[in-house]
Amino acid sequence: MGMPINVRELLDRDASEYEILAHRRTTTLTQAAEACEIPLDQLVRAVVLVDGKGLLMAVLPAEHVLDFDALCTLLHRELELVPGHQLGAIFEDCEPGSYPPLAPAYDLDVIVDEAVAAMPVITFEPGTHTSLVQMSQAAYRRLIGDARRGVFSRPASTLIADGQAITHVVEQFTPARVKRDIEEFHELPALPTTAAGILQLAADPRANARQLAEVIEQDPALSAQVLRYANSSLYGYSGQIKTLQSAIARVLGFEYVLNLALGFSIGKSLKVPQDGPFGMDAFWKHSVFAARLVETLGQKLPGKMRPPRGTAYLAGLLQNLGRLVLGHTFQPEFFILNRFSQANPDMPTCELERNVLGVTHDQIGAWLMEAWGLPDELVTAVRHHHDPDYWDRHAVYSQLVLIANRALAVHGLGEQDTPGLPDFSLQMLELDPRTVSEEANKLFENKEELEDLAQRLAA
């Protein structure tokens, strides 16, 4: 995609001196800065807000977060973020997620943070994820005209908050509308077509490997991932698997491939930024390691409680689905959540989500799975994988995920809200803590294939 027409016309009309920095396609400003080999502190971004008086664009440094309390006080307005799905109507010629800080191009009122006004060089995305525009401060001022200025942002690195101060900090940096929208949560993403087809097969007792292969083949990227898994050393097949039907019949099994494909299809359908504590890179790395460990530990359980391999794998893979939904549906809020997490690395993530958003990723993930009609075992695993006290129906799945996560955290992967393996959970599942540690160690001794899979899924 070329530069949006509204942006191009504004630049040409004002005869501004600027430079276009082309780069590979990226999803975040951090990635764009890295691709162009420029410091992130040269970039600015736009946040669009609304109240009864209309729309307002706030321009702030890319590495800052918006102080809603300061902005509303400064302007004597009750501003709220414009939901991500409505931004497309405002920036109709721009790529989703790339909104240029050029208010005149879109007939918006604007206020500029003093930190931006102090920057000698201004760089921003012009409405496309494949280039940056760079210009002097003077040129930028000419473009945006007589814009109001004020102090209404703060570097994310300063948002260190202890448990008692977090409520006040959240009130500053999170608009009240966020909690209302997420609690109501009317706009659940639709179940992907491939996933719907897989679920139909799962409900058909006469379904076979050929039918499953035909559904998966509709998605070439998904087909490639399943074949790559079947040919990996993880499953020890000595020959070369070239067809999906062979992968199902000879190596992985029908039920396992069904769940593997279902997880990959669902995860890939939700788009969030690559980087950050909750970005795609972190999500898939943790997910594939956790899925494999949950699957392995499940096979160590006594026969009476041993779960099917595929369902156990999928429970580990999709445990943090709710976090992807947050990033997919509430992009500005997801940005804030990532910044808070980076600034408060010692705060448990569920507590952080509850304070920032009023809801946690396990709640949202469970709501979505129920809406999609996914199996109760998965809903339970997603809803209760942080709760060592849950021992109701299908608890084996949530407890296996909890144990796997604690074991992975020892190796620095994922979150460590509570350190150490949960003794009672291990006793209830009749799992030896030494076995859990040994299986986790094996994953990291031969981690290359899992890391490669995670990178491919995150791409």
- Is the separation of the CB atoms in 322 and 365 below 8 Å? yes
302 in the same domain as 214: yes
Kindly write down the DSSP assignment for every residue of 181-235, as one continuous string: HHHH---PPPPPHHHHHHHHHHT-TT--HHHHHHHHTTSHHHHHHHHHHHTSGGG
95 in the same domain as 201: no
DSSP letter assigned to residue 303? G
Residue 422 inside a domain? The answer is yes
- Return the closest-CA partner of residue 409 out of 430, 427, 385, 381: 385
- Is the separation of the CB atoms in 58 and 74 below 8 Å? no
Residue 339 inside a domain? The answer is yes
And the tokens for 238?
């000595």
Residue 353's pLDDT is 80
- The model's pLDDT over 72-123, given as tens digits with 9 standing for 90+, comes to 899 999 888 776 667 889 999 999 888 999 999 999 999 999 999 999 999 9
3-state secondary structure of 20: strand
400 in the same domain as 277: yes
**CA–CA gap between residue 282 and residue 419 (Å, rounded):** 20
CB count within 10 Å of CB 211 equals 16
197 in the same domain as 136: no
249 in the same domain as 139: no
CB count within 10 Å of CB 186 equals 5
- Is the separation of the CB atoms in 317 and 288 below 8 Å? yes
Residue 173 inside a domain? The answer is no
CATH of the domain at 359: 1.10.3210.10
Residue 183's pLDDT is 47
SS3 content of the chain, % helix, strand, coil (to 5): 55, 10, 35
Residue 330's pLDDT is 72
**CA–CA gap between residue 225 and residue 452 (Å, rounded):** 11
360 in the same domain as 225: yes
State which H helix or E strand residue 123 sits in.
strand 121-124
Q: Which residues of 268-294 are buried (b: 16+ CB within 10 A; e: fewer)?
A: bbbebbbbbbbbbbbbbbbbbbbbbbb
- Return the closest-CA partner of residue 83 out of 221, 179, 178: 178
105 in the same domain as 200: no
- Return the closest-CA partner of residue 257 out of 272, 271, 246: 246
CATH of the domain at 73: 3.90.960.10
- Is the separation of the CB atoms in 409 and 416 below 8 Å? yes
- Is the separation of the CB atoms in 273 and 451 below 8 Å? no
Last residue of a domain, one of 158, 180, 213: 158
DSSP letter assigned to residue 79? -
110 in the same domain as 256: no
Residue 218's pLDDT is 86
Q: How large a percentage of the chain has pLDDT more than 90?
A: 40
φ, ψ of residue 205 to 5 degrees: the values are -65, -15
269 in the same domain as 417: yes
- Is the separation of the CB atoms in 50 and 87 below 8 Å? no
DSSP letter assigned to residue 25? -
Last residue of a domain, one of 138, 158, 178: 158
Domain region containing 146: 5-158
What Å distances lie between residue 89 and 11, 80, 101, 272, 273, CA to CA? Answer: 21, 17, 16, 20, 21
Residue 171's pLDDT is 63
377 in the same domain as 272: yes
| CA angle, residues 254, 259, 261, in degrees to nearest 5 | 95
As for how many domains the chain has, the answer is 2
Q: What is the CA radius of gyration of the chain?
A: 24
Q: Which residues of 342-359 are buried (b: 16+ CB within 10 A; e: fewer)?
A: ebbeebebbebbebbbbb
Q: Which amino acid is at 82?
A: V
Q: How many residues does the chain have?
A: 459
Q: Is 14 exposed, middle or buried (0-12, 13-18, 19+ CB in 10 A)?
A: middle
200 in the same domain as 151: no
**CA–CA gap between residue 186 and residue 249 (Å, rounded):** 41
| Sheet order of strands, 19-22 included | 19-22, 131-136, 121-124
333 in the same domain as 451: yes
CA dihedral 411→287→261→443, nearest 10 degrees, is 0
Angle between helices 280-298 and 448-458 (to 10 degrees): 130
Residue 432's pLDDT is 95
Per-residue pLDDT of the chain (459 residues; tens, 9 = 90+): 689 999 999 998 876 789 999 999 887 788 889 899 999 889 999 989 888 999 999 999 988 878 888 898 999 998 887 766 678 899 999 998 889 999 999 999 999 999 999 999 999 999 999 999 999 999 999 999 989 999 998 887 676 555 455 556 666 666 655 544 544 554 567 788 888 888 888 778 788 889 999 988 888 888 888 888 888 877 777 778 888 888 888 888 888 888 888 888 888 788 787 777 888 888 989 998 999 999 999 999 998 899 998 889 889 988 998 888 888 777 667 777 877 776 566 567 887 787 666 678 898 888 888 888 888 999 999 999 999 999 999 999 999 999 999 999 888 888 767 778 999 999 999 999 999 999 999 999 988 888 888 887 787
